[in-house]
A and B are shown apart, each in its own frame.
Chain A
Amino acid sequence: MIAKRALWSWGLIAPPFAISVLLFVGPLLYLFYVSLHGTSSSQLYDSEWTLANYEQVFSDPFYLVIIRRTLITAAIILLLSLLIGYPVAYRIARMPVRRRTIAMLLLLFPLMVSNVVRAYGWVAILGRRGVINTTLRDAGVIDVPMALLYTPDAVVIGLLTILLPYMVISITNALVGLDPRYEEAAQALGAGPIRTFFHVTLPLSSPGVASGLLLVFLLTLSAYVTIAVLGGPQSKLLVSLVYDSVVSFQWPMAAALAFTLLLIALAISGLIMALIRPGRVQAGRR
């Protein structure tokens, strides 16, 4: 009986499992294989095995600067999205159901506009002849337009406005699912609103915080359009280098950079989970 059910469940997951092996794991292994070879002018890659690509990524200052910039940009976006997103989520979670549904829909609404359109929207605001610069110049505050566009700050602002809803929605869901009796128990034990928040509400919402951070971080690493449009040539991130390597036919280097990105994604995701330990409040399942 049990064996039959186990067989059934294996049967059900077999097709997606096969597809993901065929179309994801397989190509990924092939990509790793490619990354361990040199660039060839006639072939996809050189036949010689080498670690040169990785050595270059991890020693060449050009790459190191961009890796550092990628990590710093991601850290700033994570911090800001948490600091801005949590209070918003906290407020939304305490709304009556109807208003909460409307608020969530409003949050999703900007996501319906293409990233390309939104990036150019920021260009219209931040550019040399953008809204900010022309307004300030007309008001006589500045003579020379400020360089707002093509800076790391522009990238942060652009990505933040795209990614914030993911953070807010993750945390809101965690807070809505929280039994209000936890907070009441804390209050009855003498904890005021601030201590109730830091000792009870915040730790209990950690699964939402963790999933929000993961989503925002992984989406930051893979965002391309926003970085390309708002960052320009000076504010490239790691993902831009993958693209640059591909369009210059340096396939093995592109593969090595892709694996560097994957490594960073895994390491930082692991760090987020280790720091926040969302598992400790997920009672019931061991």
Chain B
Amino acid sequence: MAIMRLGYVHARVTDLEASRSHYSDTLGMEVKAEGDGKLYLKGWDEYDHHSVVLEEGGVGAVKFGFKVSHAADLEQYERALQQFGVTVERMSKGDNLATGDGVRFISPTNHVFELYHEMEYAGTETGILNPQTFPRHLRGVGVPRLDHTLITGDDVEGMERLFTECFDWHISERVIASPEEPTCLASFLSAGHKAHDLAVLKGPDSKLHHFAFILDDWNAVLRAGDLFAMDDVPVDIGPTRHGITRGTTIYFFDPSGNRNEVFAGSYTSCHDFPTITWTADQLGRAVFYHARELNDRFLSVFT
């Protein structure tokens, strides 16, 4: 029984055509389906039908989907969530395009999460029989896959409890106010072997900080930065490196102001690793390791 990964992010955008250009031409995702005011996209190294859904009207996150490893997991997670005490409901096959039935719940931070086991198989251009290492004619950044998301809410500790108790996740890193005042300001939650699959920052409920795409390495991050310059993509910060997760990064905004990230590096995390703790007086270094100070947007701009 396990949650394998963040399978999809469903976000609102103010202009679907401008978003198509950003996610498809600049980031290089493939549009797999469209209609009804929505675009469904996937990265080149994703086997499932889509990982990003863009819906015209508004900004911010609609919901997040996590894919579980076995069909029977859904029922067990449903029970665990009911026992935990959050609002849970069943979703049916077809509620989401190309996606099977599953369990929907509202988190303590008032975000909508969906657990599912089945999504239509799309495959990749390189295939699964003696494949080449990447498709030759990628567009733009050519993001391989969706990696993680950071959301904001007041009850960070509640999110830690839910994801560790209901899903057996571990906490790789967390930020506290100080050793004397251990209020949790941010938490980095891992489903398996990544430093984070979901992170939660103390802030307004229901908001999106960013969703991130993994890249191979630092060189790929720098190349993405060049492409953002060519395409006039507003950059929040970077290229730089995080103390937290040790990842290299650029944060940037989509044409509706939703923040995206390209991310590389980081480390392998395991369930038995102790949680790394950062204190607020070191937050500059924790967040932007090189500059060691925050900019005025990173912890205050959300959609």
The answer to whether A binds B is no
Q: Could you list which residues of chain B lie within 8 angstroms of chain A, going by C-beta atoms?
A: none
Binding site for B on A (CB under 8 A): none
